[in-house]
Chains A and B, each alone.
Chain A
Amino acid sequence: MLAMARSCAIVGLDGALVEVEVDISNGLAAFMIVGLPDAAVNEAKERVRAAIKNSGCLFPYKHITVNLAPADLRKEGPAYDLPIAVGILLASGQLTSDEVLRDSLFLGELSLDGGIRHTNGILPMVALASERRIKAVFVPAVDAAEATLVKGTTVYPVETLGQLVAHLNKERQIEPYQRDMSLLENIHEAVYLQDMSSVRGQEHVKRALEVAASGGHNILMSGPPGCGKTLLARTVSSILPRMVIEEALEITKVYSVSGMLPSDTPLILQRPFRSPHHTTSHAGLVGGGRLPRPGEISLAHRGVLFLDELPEFGQNVLEVLRQPLEDKVVTISRAQGAVTYPANFMLVAAQNPCPCGFYGDPVRECTCSVTAITRYQKRVSGPLLDRIDIHVEVPRVDYEKLADKRKVEDSATIRARVQAARERQLLRFTGTKLTCNAEMGPAEVRDFCQVDASAEKLLKAAMQQLHLSARAFHRALKLARSIADLAESETIAANHVAEAIQYRPRMGT
């Protein structure tokens, strides 16, 4: 007898429909799984056999063939246990097929006693169901909260295989899981590591970070050791604007697929902050490995990727960042196909200007030779620097500033301004896919960055005298747009452009 149950595979961050076909025929008793299963999927045979027996059903002692279609997609992980069990029960007549069953997705790892265990990647699978207008999904009960983050499909929490059989045979209904609406409202409640008020002095760096946070611009801080670059970078999370629900869902998908969702909440409530060490490998930073997994840039999606000691990162590792910085996604190609992960992160980078760290410092003398300085600065290529919108120098802080006891602005105050600026941007970009100024391309810059007369004159003079490239020109306009948003001004004035221009990279000596 032939039967079919639907399930889902994860390709990158998206679900792909998998049809679990089961054929039971007379012949030598065997149980085979085809469809490029990995080791965990193959082990399903033992789990399914035991789970079916221990749920009070019969395990057919016949020739069983399970095909996980499409046949050229690698199947990984134990999520297919449940659909395989359902398929076998259908094909052996212990379950009756009907509309409901045909229009459902089944997902979950089985215990030998028939219990259904937590499985990774439930969120993208349910998102697929919603997209394909599949009416119901049957997921492990412990993951039901995560599944209900997506609307448009009914979520049935399943605790045991026996319970599911009783439900499908219309003996005892499982209650659909009720969405907890308050979960989505809690995105605003987050706890931050460092507060801006713990940093003394460095007013113009804080200003640059505020501009960066409001428009989502990348920023590079350069300066001698011990002046606060790392400390400031760690405060950036505390001034970032609130996430909207779509952003939270995107981040949650990445963490769900990576198996990194915290156990107490199915939704990531805070923008991520990732700071990988500079010995990170290529695959660790960007994603990949033999079985492609999201890398640091995807784990920092919609959040901050902090690269401290930028020149110490391997050169080939840094160059790999260029494309994601531009496209906001990373595509990993393998022989079996390409996988695309989102990588829309805000890059915060810190570096010393030379190996000893004191090049350009007014007090300490730099002890590096000219060739050493050039070689050090060459480690970060021109094209990569060009993709960073804000370049700011972090000078030494003098004693008066450090010892000053007066109150300094705290993160909550700055965040309020950043939030207001970001909301202006969201309003401006309704109808488009953009969420912040940094994402604008040349066409959008033309449409949205209107400058007044004096600003235009200033821009023209700057382009001619400073020899700005086209990319630098657009960058200055985008920054000016963010600065104007912070000043709550619809038009961009000359002082906004002036501030934007000062954030350009200073080349070499």
Chain B
Amino acid sequence: MLAMVRSCAIIGLDGALVEVEVDITNGLAAFIIVGLPDAAVNEAKERVRSAVKNSGCLFPFKHITVNLAPADLRKEGPAYDLPIAVGILFASGQINPNEELENALFLGELSLDGTVRHTNGILPMVALAREKHVKAVFVPAVDAVEATLIEGVTVYPVETLGQLIAHLNGIKQLEPYTRDPHILDNVKEALYLQNMSSVRGQEHVKRALEVAASGGHNILMSGPPGSGKTLLARTTVGYQN
């Protein structure tokens, strides 16, 4: 049986769509991943096998081929664990076909017990989802906050593979992560390294820093050792908003 699940690769700072194709056929039991996978991606085989078994599902003892398309893009990192697992479960009939699956991106590293772990690069991946008009993303629960910085995409925080299977099979819905509208407001109440008031004198330098901060200008401070240049530099963050 054939299945396809969408995921994402990172090139530089942007995401690129990766289609995880899974084909399960009769034949000598094997599990092959193609699509220029690096070492971490190849190790997904072990993690996916254990995670699937430990989530109360069957790991098909058949000939499994996973193709990470496009074939000439190198695939790196453990973010493909979750989509590969979902693809295998879908292709072996343990997840029912549904529209949601076709219109979503899946990302996340798996633990052997089925927990979905923190994965790097979630933000560019979700940005790609919005660009490609993908409706939903399933990301590690610990990274859901990062994912909600992008508007227009429904973010489902996934704690375990079992939880995701239950959601896709309609047994127990996952709550989409609700964006905290005040998250960016709290940026003002941050603790800064140094406060300007701890610097005595140097009024004209402080004024220059104020002009620099307001217009985003570069600034060079020149002077003898010990006069406060480094101290002043460390206070500049206090002026940014």
Q: Which of A39, A81, A117 contacts B36 (CB 8 A)?
A: A39
Whether the pair B70, A109 counts as a contact (CB closer than 8 A) is yes
Q: Which of B22, B34, B65, B69 contacts A117 (CB 8 A)?
A: B69
- Once A78-B72, A120-B72 are accepted as A-B contacts, the answer to whether A112 and B2 lie under 8 Å apart by CB is yes
Using Cβ atoms and an 8 Å threshold, which residues of chain B touch A77?
A: 71-72
- Once A43-B34, A112-B22 are accepted as A-B contacts, the answer to whether A54 and B2 lie under 8 Å apart by CB is yes
Is A46 on the interface with B (CB-CB < 8 A)?
yes
In this complex, which of A43, A112, A117 has the most chain B Cβ atoms within 10 angstroms of its Cβ? A112
Is B154 on the interface with A (CB-CB < 8 A)?
no
B34-84 with Cβ < 8 A to chain A: 34-36, 65, 67, 69-72
Is A247 on the interface with B (CB-CB < 8 A)?
no
CA distance A111 to B65 in the complex (A): 11
Q: Which of B23, B32, B65, B71 contacts A109 (CB 8 A)?
A: B71
Whether the pair A112, B65 counts as a contact (CB closer than 8 A) is yes
Q: Which of B19, B21, B35 contacts A43 (CB 8 A)?
A: B35
Whether the pair B72, A54 counts as a contact (CB closer than 8 A) is no
Using Cβ atoms and an 8 Å threshold, which residues of chain A touch B65?
A: 46, 49-50, 112
- Once A39-B36, A47-B34 are accepted as A-B contacts, the answer to whether A112 and B21 lie under 8 Å apart by CB is yes
Whether the pair B36, A109 counts as a contact (CB closer than 8 A) is no
Using Cβ atoms and an 8 Å threshold, which residues of chain B touch A386?
A: none
CA distance A112 to B69 in the complex (A): 9
Which residue of the partner chain B has the closest CB to A47? B67
Is B119 on the interface with A (CB-CB < 8 A)?
no
CA distance A46 to B19 in the complex (A): 16
Whether the pair A47, B2 counts as a contact (CB closer than 8 A) is no
Using Cβ atoms and an 8 Å threshold, which residues of chain A touch B72?
A: 40, 77-78, 109, 120, 259
Whether the pair A111, B25 counts as a contact (CB closer than 8 A) is no
B19-35 with Cβ < 8 A to chain A: 19, 21-23, 25, 32, 34-35
Using Cβ atoms and an 8 Å threshold, which residues of chain A touch B22?
A: 112
CA distance A53 to B25 in the complex (A): 9
Which residue of the partner chain A has the closest CB to B21? A112
Digitize A51-73: 1 where CB-to-B-CB distance is under 8 Å, 0 elsewhere. 00110000000000000000000
Whether the pair A113, B2 counts as a contact (CB closer than 8 A) is yes
Give, as a whole number of angstroms, the nearest-CB distance from A113 to chain B: 5
Using Cβ atoms and an 8 Å threshold, which residues of chain B touch A117?
A: 69-71
Using Cβ atoms and an 8 Å threshold, which residues of chain B touch A39?
A: 36
Is A118 on the interface with B (CB-CB < 8 A)?
yes
Using Cβ atoms and an 8 Å threshold, which residues of chain B touch A54?
A: 2, 23
B181-207 with Cβ < 8 A to chain A: none
Is B155 on the interface with A (CB-CB < 8 A)?
no
Is B128 on the interface with A (CB-CB < 8 A)?
no
Which residue of the partner chain B has the closest CB to A78? B71
Using Cβ atoms and an 8 Å threshold, which residues of chain B touch A46?
A: 32, 34, 65, 67
Whether the pair A118, B71 counts as a contact (CB closer than 8 A) is no
Which residue of the partner chain B has the closest CB to A42? B34
CA distance A111 to B70 in the complex (A): 9
Q: Which of A50, A53, A259 contacts B67 (CB 8 A)?
A: A50
In this complex, which of B4, B21, B25 has the most chain A Cβ atoms within 10 angstroms of its Cβ? B21
Q: Which of A53, A78, A113 contacts B21 (CB 8 A)?
A: A113
Using Cβ atoms and an 8 Å threshold, which residues of chain A touch B69?
A: 109, 111, 117
CA distance A112 to B34 in the complex (A): 10
Whether the pair A40, B21 counts as a contact (CB closer than 8 A) is no
Using Cβ atoms and an 8 Å threshold, which residues of chain A touch B32?
A: 46
Using Cβ atoms and an 8 Å threshold, which residues of chain A touch B67?
A: 46-47, 50, 111-112
Give, as a whole number of angstroms, the nearest-CB distance from A437 to chain B: 40
CA distance A53 to B32 in the complex (A): 16
CA distance A113 to B2 in the complex (A): 7
CA distance A184 to B4 in the complex (A): 37
Give, as a whole number of angstroms, the nearest-CB distance from B33 to chain A: 9
Which residue of the partner chain A has the closest CB to B34? A43
Using Cβ atoms and an 8 Å threshold, which residues of chain A touch B19?
A: 111
Whether the pair B34, A118 counts as a contact (CB closer than 8 A) is no
CA distance A39 to B70 in the complex (A): 14
- Once A39-B36, A43-B36, A112-B65 are accepted as A-B contacts, the answer to whether A50 and B23 lie under 8 Å apart by CB is yes
A93-131 with Cβ < 8 A to chain B: 109, 111-113, 117-118, 120
CA distance A489 to B67 in the complex (A): 64
Whether the pair B71, A40 counts as a contact (CB closer than 8 A) is yes
Using Cβ atoms and an 8 Å threshold, which residues of chain B touch A47?
A: 34, 67, 71
CA distance A43 to B32 in the complex (A): 10
CA distance A112 to B65 in the complex (A): 8
Give, as a whole number of angstroms, the nearest-CB distance from A7 to chain B: 15
Give, as a whole number of angstroms, the nearest-CB distance from A162 to chain B: 13
Using Cβ atoms and an 8 Å threshold, which residues of chain B touch A109?
A: 69-72
Using Cβ atoms and an 8 Å threshold, which residues of chain B touch A118?
A: 70
CA distance A55 to B211 in the complex (A): 67
CA distance A54 to B3 in the complex (A): 11
Which residue of the partner chain B has the closest CB to A45? B34
CA distance A16 to B16 in the complex (A): 30
In this complex, which of B23, B32, B35, B36 has the most chain A Cβ atoms within 10 angstroms of its Cβ? B23
- Once A47-B67, A50-B67, A54-B2 are accepted as A-B contacts, the answer to whether A112 and B23 lie under 8 Å apart by CB is yes
Given contacts A46-B32, A50-B23, A109-B71, 5 further A-B contacts (CB under 8 A): A46-B65, A47-B67, A54-B2, A77-B71, A109-B70
Which chain A residues have a beta carbon within 8 Å of chain B's beta carbons? 39-40, 43, 46-47, 49-50, 53-54, 77-78, 81, 109, 111-113, 117-118, 120, 259
Q: List the 4 closest pairs (A to B, CB-CB), nearest first.
A: A78-B71, A43-B34, A112-B21, A50-B23
Which chain B residues have a beta carbon within 8 Å of chain A's beta carbons? 2, 4, 19, 21-23, 25, 32, 34-36, 65, 67, 69-72
Q: List 21 A-B contacts (CB under 8 A).
A: A40-B71, A43-B36, A46-B34, A47-B71, A49-B65, A50-B21, A50-B23, A50-B65, A53-B23, A53-B25, A54-B23, A77-B71, A109-B69, A109-B71, A109-B72, A111-B19, A112-B23, A113-B2, A113-B4, A113-B23, A117-B69
